[in-house]
C-alpha cells in the first residue's frame, strides 16, 4: 500500500496534526520523520485537547502504531513524560509507540547551548524554541551524537556513556561561559527515562518496510514547515532538520517510490514564530485580528505568532519543492469576519517580478508582495448548509489554487476533528 505524506508548507503551525488525525483513522502506521520537541501538534478530539511534541498525532486511534522515525532528535525525559501524560488521559498506548534506533538523543546540555547561542546573537537571535534542536543535530552531523539505539546497551554502559557525554560537554559549556549541567542528578533522571523508553526502541525501518509489504496504510507525519527546512527554508532563520519531503526519505527510511500522495498543509493565511523574513506579514490591526481570532500563540513556547496574508509565491515554491499532490487548507474560518482578504500572487523585486521564493535572504528583504484583493464572505465558513462553503470562500480557495498551482482537497473550518470538508 502506498504512503501518504503530510508536509507543512509554511513556517510551521499549519495545523498538520489535525489533518494527520483525520487521515490516521484509516491508517495502520503513522511515522514522524523530522524534528523534535520543538514541534507542537494540537488535536481537539471529542472536546478534549491534546498537545503533542514528540509522539505522532495518530496515537489517538487505538488501531494505529506510531513510529518516532530516524530523522528525529528526542529528549528521552520529554518523551517519557509525554507518553505518561497521554496515558493519564486514558489513551492505551501499549505496543503502539516505537522509537527508531537511529534517532538522536537530546541532552540538557544541548538546551543550554541552544539558549547560549541565541544570547550570543544579541539583538537578532533566530528565535528558537530553546529545545536544544540545533546543538543535537550539530552533534549528529559531527558524528559525536548519541543515538536512541545506544540506550539499549547494558545499564552500566548507558550510565557511563551519559556521564562521559555530560562531563565532556560541561567543559564546552564552561568555556562558553554557560551553566554546566549537574552530572549525577542529570544522569539519574536520564537513565530513568531511558529505561522506560528502551522497550520501544527498535529498527523502525524494518517495521515500516514490512508494513508496506503487507499492504498496510502508512502516513508520514512532518514537523515544522518547508520554509523552516535547513536546505530550502529562509536560512539561517530555519530549524536544523529537513522539514520538507526529503526528510521523510532520508530520516525515516520511507522508500521514495512508495510515496503516492503528498498532502501539503497550508493555513488560509500565514504565520511565523521566531525571527526571519516574512514578506506578507501584517504588523498592524490586520495581524492582531488574525492572531486573536486564530489563537496564534505557540503550542511549545506560548509566544505570539507573527501573522499576515497568504503568500502565493512561497506557496508555489513549496508545492514544486515537495511535489504536493493535494492541499489541505486549514483555519479558513479565521477569515470569516474579514471584509476584504488579500492573496500575494507575486513579488516585485526592483524591476523584476519573481515567480519563486528567492534563496538569498537579502533578495527576500527587497521583495514587495503584489496582492490581489478579494471580497470576504462575512459569514460562518461552515454554515453554508449541506457541507457547502459560502460563494466567496470558494472564490478565495479557487484563486489560491490558481496562484500556487495545486488543488485544495481538504478544508478545515474549525478546531474539532469533525470540522472539515472534503472537496
Ligand atoms: P528550533 O527548531 O527550536 O531551533 O527553532 C528554529 C526556528 O524554527 C525558530 O524560528 C522557531 O520558532 C521555528 N520553529 C521550530 N519548530 C517550530 C514549530 O513546530 N512551529 C513553528 N515554528 C517552529
pLDDT score recorded for residue 386 = 62
CATH topology of domain 3-103+201-263: Adenylosuccinate Synthetase; Chain A, domain 1 (3.40.440)
Distance CA 412, CA 423 (A): 11
CA distance 111 to 323: 34
Q: Which CATH architecture has domain 104-197?
A: Orthogonal Bundle (1.10)
pLDDT values of the chain reduced to their tens digit, one per residue, 423 residues: 699 999 999 999 999 999 999 999 999 999 999 999 999 888 888 888 888 999 998 999 999 999 999 999 999 999 999 999 999 999 999 999 999 999 999 999 999 999 999 999 999 999 999 999 999 999 999 999 999 999 999 999 999 999 999 999 999 999 999 999 999 999 999 999 999 999 999 999 999 999 999 999 999 999 999 999 999 999 999 999 999 999 999 999 999 999 999 999 999 999 999 999 999 999 999 999 999 999 999 888 889 999 999 999 999 999 999 999 999 999 999 999 999 999 999 999 989 999 999 999 999 999 999 999 999 999 998 875 567 899 999 999 999 999 999 999 999 999 888 899 998
Strand pairing report for 368-375 and 340-349: antiparallel
Burial of 355 (0-12, 13-18, 19+ CB in 10 A): exposed
- The reported pLDDT for the residue numbered 388 is 87
User: Using one digit for the tens of pLDDT, what is the confidence trace for 115-154?
Assistant: 999 999 999 999 999 999 999 999 999 999 999 999 999 9
Query: Which residues of the chain form CATH 3.90.170.10?
Result: 266-422
User: 10-69, pLDDT tens digit by residue?
Assistant: 999 999 999 999 999 999 999 999 999 999 888 888 888 888 999 998 999 999 999 999
Residue 265 CA to ligand 1 center (angstroms) comes to: 17
Atom 19 in ligand 1: which residue has the minimum CA distance?
Answer: 39
Closest atom of ligand 1 to 134 CA is 4
Rg (CA), the chain: 21
- Residue 374's SS3 state is strand
Whether the ω angle into residue 67 lies within 30 degrees of 0, i.e. cis, is: no
Task: Please state which CATH class domain 266-422 belongs to.
Answer: alpha beta
- Return all residues near 308 (Cβ < 8 A) that are at least 6 apart: 269, 270, 271, 278, 280, 281, 282, 286, 287, 290
Ligand 1 close to Cβ of residue 273 (< 6 A):
yes
* Residue ranges of the chain that CATH labels 1.10.300.10: 104-197
What pLDDT does 384 receive?
A: 57
Which is it for strands 97-100 and 3-8: parallel, antiparallel or unpaired?
unpaired
Evaluate: CB of 149 within 6 angstroms of ligand 1.
no
Residues marked as catalytic: 13, 41
Residue range(s) in the chain whose domain bears CATH number 3.40.440.10: 3-103+201-263
Amino acid at each position: 500500500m502506498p504512503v501518504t505524506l503530510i508536509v507543512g508548507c509554511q513556517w510551521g503551525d499549519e495545523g498538520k496534526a489535525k489533518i494527520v488525525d483525520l487521515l490516521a483513522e484509516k491508517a495502520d502506521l503513522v511515522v514522524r520523520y523530522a524534528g523534535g520537541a520543538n514541534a507542537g501538534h494540537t488535536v481537539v478530539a471529542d472536546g478534549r485537547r491534546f498537545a503533542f511534541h514528540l509522539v505522532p498525532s495518530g496515537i489517538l486511534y487505538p488501531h494505529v502504531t506510531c513510529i518516532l522515525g530516524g530523522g528525529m532528535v528526542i529528549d528521552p525525559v520529554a518523551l517519557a513524560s509525554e507518553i505518561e501524560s497521554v496515558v493519564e488521559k486514558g489513551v492505551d498506548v501499549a505496543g503502539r509507540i516505537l522509537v527508531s534506533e537511529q534517532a538522536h538523543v537530546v541532552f540538557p546540555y544541548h538546551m543550554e547551548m541552544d539558549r547560549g547561542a541565541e544570547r550570543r546573537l544579541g539583538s537578532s537571535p533566530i528565535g528558537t524554541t530553546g529545545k536544544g534542536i540545533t546543538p543535537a543535530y550539530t552533534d549528529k552531523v559531527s558524528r559525536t551524537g548519541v543515538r536512541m539505539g545506544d540506550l539499549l546497551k547494558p545499564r552500566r554502559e548507558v550510565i557511563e556513556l551519559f556521564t562521559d557525554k555530560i562531563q565532556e560537554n560541561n567543559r564546552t559549556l564552561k568555556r562558553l561561559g554557560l551553566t554546566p549541567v549537574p552530572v549525577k542528578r542529570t544522569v539519574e533522571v536520564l537513565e530513568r527515562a531511558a529505561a522506560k523508553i528502551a522497550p520501544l526502541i527498535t529498527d523502525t525501518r524494518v517495521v515500516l518496510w514490512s508494513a508496506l509489504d503487507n499492504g498496510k496504510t502508512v502516513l508520514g507525519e512532518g514537523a515544522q514547515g518547508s520554509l523552516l527546512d535547513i536546505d530550502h527554508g529562509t536560512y539561517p532563520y530555519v530549524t536544523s532538520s529537513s522539514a520538507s519531503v526529503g526528510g521523510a526519505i532520508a530520516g525515516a527510511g520511507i522508500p521514495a517510490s512508495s510515496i503516492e500522495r503528498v498532502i501539503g498543509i497550508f493555513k488560509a493565511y500565514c504565520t511565523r514564530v521566531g525571527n526571519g523574513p516574512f514578506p506578507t506579514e501584517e504588523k498592524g490591526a490586520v495581524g492582531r485580528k488574525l492572531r486573536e481570532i486564530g489563537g496564534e500563540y505557540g503550542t511549545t513556547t506560548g509566544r505570539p505568532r507573527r501573522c499576515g496574508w497568504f503568500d502565493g509565491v512561497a506557496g508555489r515554491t513549496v508545492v514544486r519543492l515537495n511535489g504536493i499532490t493535494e492541499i489541505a487548507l486549514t483555519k479558513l474560518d479565521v477569515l470569516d469576519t474579514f471584509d476584504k482578504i488579500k492573496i500575494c500572487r507575486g513579488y516585485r523585486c526592483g524591476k523584476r517580478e519573481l515567480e519563486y521564493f528567492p534563496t538569498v535572504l537579502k533578495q527576500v528583504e527587497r521583495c514587495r508582495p503584489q496582492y490581489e484583493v478579494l471580497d470576504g464572505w462575512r459569514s460562518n465558513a461552515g454554515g453554508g448548509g449541506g457541507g457547502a462553503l459560502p460563494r466567496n470562500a470558494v472564490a478565495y480557495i479557487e484563486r489560491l489554487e490558481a496562484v500556487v498551482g495545486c488543488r485544495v482537497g481538504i478544508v478545515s473550518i474549525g478546531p474539532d476533528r469533525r470540522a472539515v470538508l472534503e472537496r
